[in-house]
């Protein structure tokens, strides 16, 4: 949990992207790794669920990968290292294979205690996607910051698209201030 004023922020997912230094024969990976799944008609990669630490990978022929499901950068890096060890142990890459990776974005739940607003009002004041009959959430993409918010009636938010905690704090504070400025919610915190 990240402290920010009286906001309660909880990292739900770290999305890590990277590349192994070697290409991978995905047909062989699918045969050798029990927890891998492939459907070549729908997707050009495989998915693989790592058990320790718990993470899910998308792996591509060029060695590129996406790792999701961890809650910290350290756990994501550990998952990538463990996945590479598994690939080496199964003879799917050489022992010299290495990797480079970085955080693509964080997915964070935000609870603004005591704040709630009308999704219709948020939708009219901000450029959002809101289809109440399909999904009772306003989807808002914040300008230059790359932050995207799902806004729920309860005042809870899901924020993604930010790569670090400082950027996250800044985006949440900015969005909160915009909500107050447009009188969608009452100011409950001194920022």
3-state secondary structure at position 31: helix
Q: Using DSSP bridges, classify how beta strands 148-151 and 2-4 pair: parallel, antiparallel or unpaired.
A: unpaired
Do 38 and 76 lie in one domain? The reply is: yes
The predicted-structure confidence for 14-25, as pLDDT tens digits, reads as follows: 999 999 999 999
Q: What is the mean pLDDT of residues 26-45?
A: 92
Which tokens is 142 given? 């914040």
Among residues 67, 97, 127, the one where a domain terminates is 97
Q: Residue 168 CB: number of other CB atoms within 10 A?
A: 24
Question: Which residue in this structure is represented by tokens 């809650």?
Answer: 71
48, 67, 97 - which closes a domain: 97
Predicted confidence band of residue 9 (pLDDT cuts 50, 70, 90)? confident
| Whether residue 29 is found in the same domain as residue 76 | yes
pLDDT tens string 84-107:
999 999 999 999 999 999 999 899
Same domain for 82 and 29: yes
CA-to-CA separations, 180 to 23, 36, 112, in angstroms, rounded:
50, 47, 12
Q: Of residues 155 and 116, which shows the higher confidence score?
A: 155
Residue 55: give its domain's CATH number. 3.30.310.10
Query: Poorest-confidence range of 41-50, 107-116, 173-182?
Result: 107-116
> What is the pLDDT, as a whole number, of residue 114?
55
Q: In angstroms, rounded to a whole number, what is the distance separating the alpha carbons of residues 104 and 121? A: 31
Contact (CB, 8 A) for 32 and 88:
no
Clarify whether residues 111 and 80 are in a common domain.
no
Look up the domain containing 152 and give its range.
Answer: 2-10+106-181
Same domain, 113 and 162: yes
Domain boundary among 80, 97, 114: 97
Q: Are residues 172 and 130 in the same domain?
A: yes
- Best CA proximity match to 71, nearest among 165, 174, 191: 165
What pLDDT does 19 receive?
97
On whether both 39 and 86 belong to a single domain, the answer is: yes
Apex CA 168: angle with CA 175 and CA 10, to 5°?
Answer: 100
pTM of this structure: 0.80
Structural domains in the chain (count): 2
Nearest-angstrom CA–CA distance, 50 and 142:
33
Tell me if 56 is assigned to some domain: yes
Question: Could you tell me if residue 65 is inside a domain?
Answer: yes
Check whether residue 86 and residue 115 sit in a common domain: no
Query: pLDDT tens across 39-78, in order?
Result: 989 999 999 999 999 999 999 999 999 999 999 999 999 9
In this prediction, residue 183 has a pLDDT band, given cuts at 50, 70 and 90, of confident
């Amino acid at each position: 949990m990240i402290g920010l004023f009286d906001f309660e922020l909880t990292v739900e997912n770290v999305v890590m992207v990277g590349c192994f230094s070697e290409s991978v024969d995905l047909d062989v990976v699918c045969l050798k790794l029990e927890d891998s799944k492939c459907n070549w008609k729908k997707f050009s990669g495989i998915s693989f669920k790592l058990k320790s630490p718990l993470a899910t990978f998308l792996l591509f022929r060029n060695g590129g990968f996406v790792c999701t499901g961890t809650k910290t950068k350290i756990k994501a890096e550990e998952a990538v290292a463990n996945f590479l060890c598994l690939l080496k142990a199964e003879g799917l890459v050489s022992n010299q294979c290495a990797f480079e990776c970085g955080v693509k974005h964080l997915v964070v739940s935000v609870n603004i205690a005591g704040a709630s607003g009308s999704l219709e009002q948020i939708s009219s004041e901000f450029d959002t996607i809101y289809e109440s009959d399909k999904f009772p959430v306003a989807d808002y993409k914040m300008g230059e910051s790359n932050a995207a918010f799902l806004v729920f009636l309860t005042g809870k938010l899901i924020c993604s698209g930010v790569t670090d905690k400082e950027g996250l704090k800044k985006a949440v504070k900015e969005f909160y201030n915009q909500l107050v400025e447009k009188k969608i919610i009452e100011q409950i915190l001194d920022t």
